[in-house]
Amino acid sequence: MSPEKSIFSKIIDREIPATFIHEDEKCIVINDINPKARVHLLIIPKKPIATLFDLTPDDKDVMGHMMLLLPQIAQSQGLDGFKTQINTGESGGQEVFHIHIHLLGQ
């Protein structure tokens, strides 16, 4: 039996609607449904990786891609500065166990 798909995998597969800001072969960028700032986006890899603890050397490309995408997305939203956050594990505040980067800006 395969593990249950995360809400992010369901969004990637278009099973749940979301507002897509960006999509490419490696990741998606969507609006956070519970924003903590004027701009609050989630950068999510298409590959389902549960936490930072689950990264392998094979994931360097997708993680590097997402990091390089952050300033481009921020600028496209009119931001000249921003904050990023990755929650890891339940005690680290992670609610959806599919790695994602929060991009927050005023």
Q: Which of 65, 98, 100, 102 is catalytic?
A: 100
**Residue linked to tokens 């166990």:** 97
Question: In whole angstroms, what is the distance from residue 66 CA to residue 86 CA?
Answer: 12
CB 46 within 8 A of CB 66: no
Is 100 assigned a catalytic role?
yes
What lies within 8 Å, CB to CB, of 55 at 6+ separation is: 49, 63, 99
Residues known to be catalytic = 100
